[in-house]
Amino acid sequence: MPVEFKLPDLGEGIHEGEIIEVLVHAGDKVEDGQTVLVIETDKATAEVPSPVTGTVTEVRVKQGQTVRVGEVLIVFAKEGEKEGEEAGVPPPRAYEKETGPSREVEKAGEKAGEEKPAQASAGPVAAAPSTRRLARELGVDIGKVTPSGPGGRVTPEDVRAFARRASRPEGEKAPEGEVARPAEIEKEPVTLPGTFGPEERIALRSVRRATAKRMSAAWAQIPHVTHMDTADLTALDAFRHKHIKRVEALGGDLSLMVFVMKAAAAALKKFPSFNSSLDVESGEIILKHYRNIGFAMDTDRGLLVPVIRDVDCKSIFDLAIEFRQIGERTRQGKATREDLSGGTFTITNVGPMGGTGIAPIINYPEAAILGMARAKLQPVVLGDAKNYEIVPRLMLPLSITFDHRILDGAEAARFLNMIKSAMEEPETLLMIS
């Protein structure tokens, strides 16, 4: 019997990946464990091994194609079995996204503003087995669900949305107390290519595509509010330079980010709502009793967020060593899925690029994100109106952007004040846990 190799469940909420390289062709002999594909998700790039020893009878994917969990990637005939139809292998079929004239004609026939019809009854509904199971559990006829996934696939979100609409009488508003969900965003038409001059189109792929999806989800669902302040780093900077060579000798990087992470972890412990997520479906706030902090990195692949786990349980020196190690793996494209997942709070630092402040978008589904701009020497007035002096101090602009469904401005001010106080008194950072 043929072996249909499907994209397995990748975990951590990852439902799809992009084929970066296809290493085999139909007719090739392969060994069990031999790499046959290279696939990239928004978390990491991974080599995909053959599950059997045998012959490749059909390759159903191509480079640059996006595939979802449950889709067949390659069909194999095990060693010793006949190939082709005698072994029960179905004839080759097209495995590409809907493109070409037929799809363009279909689009042209759709009325402006009219919802795309559900899957035609003449063919099977494109959906993963888990999505079909969810539809059965919710009593939803999956053939009536309007797909929104790649290639016209029905996603779990499509099924849940259909079930919510079906359970509510026509014209009835959402019940009082239910958390509001964003309305569908009307899509503006894109001008025809070359209308106003030469153009170039670049595929929205891998990390950039994943970033676009996550940022859209965060902006559409979360009411963002940003509170800003500045911290005096003069004493901390002196402390950092005093120990920087010692930490470098241990293989660490005593970056300012390390101190900010440590201060943030202590604040998250005292203000647990900043270390939470909102479950809209159940109407519950999920408080996380672990503090895994991600830090945004600008890499050749795009914006990635490696995560250091249990920051509150580690010393400044331990964090400095781990910060360098995970940062180097991420820059080199060697970060694992574990390196890039499991975060409960994120810090982003635009300081190296300049700027006087930042109001970042929350890393959904987290509840808040801390922003850092460039630390600069500034004249600061010390004392009161009668007795004061103006001195140069190293000042760091900070911001905390939070989910206003869960948190309020007063809490944000207290949270940022704690981080600010810890950074202005370096000894405090060595004692907090």
Q: What positions carry a catalytic annotation?
A: 404
Exposed, middle or buried, 54 (CB in 10 Å: 0-12/13-18/19+)? Answer: buried
CB 304 within 8 A of CB 297: yes
φ, ψ of residue 256 to 5 degrees: the values are -60, -30
3-state helix, strand, coil in the chain (%, to 5): 30, 25, 45
CB 5 within 8 A of CB 76: yes
Instruction: Tell me, rounded to whole angstroms, the distance of Cα 204 from its chain centroid.
Output: 15
Walk across the sheet containing 35-40 and list its strands.
45-49, 35-40, 16-22, 66-68
Identity (one letter) of the amino acid at 129?
Answer: P
CA distances for 284 relative to 188, 241, 278, 343, angstroms: 35, 45, 6, 19
**Whole-angstrom Cα distance, residue 126 to residue 71?**
10
Q: Which of 405, 399, 339 has the alpha carbon at shortest distance from 367? A: 405
- Cis preceding-peptide flag for 365 (omega within 30 of 0): yes
Count of beta carbons in the 10 Å neighbourhood of residue 229: 15
